[in-house]
């Protein structure tokens, strides 16, 4: 009758800090087509300089591959999720060279050490250590994923 409408929520931007110290690369440089074709989602990759993964934001460690420890899904308090996948085909290592410092379901804080991995051992086993950081597709909350100007303080900007 009066035409009152709820005002649409203003979009917010989540700036995702780099969870790994290293050289930032385009997904185009990832040998695995699931990542380079962006079938898994949009993101960037990192060539690690040290074998540590830290929380890029506060939230929750939704899932850590318990046996292999090579991949994890993190969720920001906003509901935005990211996938961190250490190396290519590293699931084959069955956890060798990986030390988890958090478990699935844990609350995490920005900068917290989540995982250590042995770069030399992974490379000696014949696997690349290039690590995709992906915003998986299919998240209804997400309006845009921006990887156009990655730097250590904000490798990915997610509008939600």
- pLDDT tier at 36 (50, 70, 90 boundaries)? very high
CATH number at residue 45: 2.70.70.10
Instruction: Pick the catalytic residue from 63, 70, 76, 85.
Output: 85
Please give the Cα distance from 115 to 113 (Å, whole number): 6
Domain assignment present for 38: yes
Q: In percent, how much of the chain has pLDDT > 70?
A: 95
Q: Is the pLDDT of residue 142 over 80?
A: yes
State the residue range of the domain holding 77: 13-159
Q: Is-catalytic flag, 85?
A: yes
Q: Which of 119, 106, 146, 144 is nearest to 20 (CA)?
A: 119
Q: Give the β-pairing of 156-159 and 144-146.
A: antiparallel
Domain assignment present for 8: no
CB 115 within 8 A of CB 61: no
pLDDT at 96: 97
- pLDDT tier at 2 (50, 70, 90 boundaries)? low
Q: Mind listing the pLDDT tens digit for each residue in 77-135? A: 999 999 999 999 999 999 999 999 999 999 999 999 999 999 999 999 999 999 999 99
How many domains does the chain fold into?
1
Domain assignment present for 60: yes
If you average pLDDT over every residue of the chain, what do you get? 94
């Amino acid at each position: 009758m009066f035409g009152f409408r709820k005002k649409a929520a203003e979009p917010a931007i989540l700036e995702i800090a780099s969870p790994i110290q290293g050289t930032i690369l385009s997904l185009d440089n990832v040998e695995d087509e699931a990542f380079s074709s962006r079938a898994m989602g949009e993101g960037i990759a990192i060539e690690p300089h040290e074998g540590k993964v830290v929380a890029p934001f506060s939230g929750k460690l939704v899932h850590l591959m318990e046996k292999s420890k090579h991949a994890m899904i993190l969720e920001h308090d906003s509901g935005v999720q990211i996938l961190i996948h250490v190396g290519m085909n590293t699931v084959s290592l069955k956890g060798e060279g990986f030390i988890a410092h958090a478990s699935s379901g844990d609350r995490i804080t920005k900068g917290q050490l989540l995982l250590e991995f042995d770069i030399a051992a992974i490379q000696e086993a014949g696997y690349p250590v290039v690590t995709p950081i992906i915003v998986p597709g299919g998240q209804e909350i997400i309006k845009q994923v921006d990887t156009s100007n990655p730097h250590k303080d904000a490798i990915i900007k997610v509008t939600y």
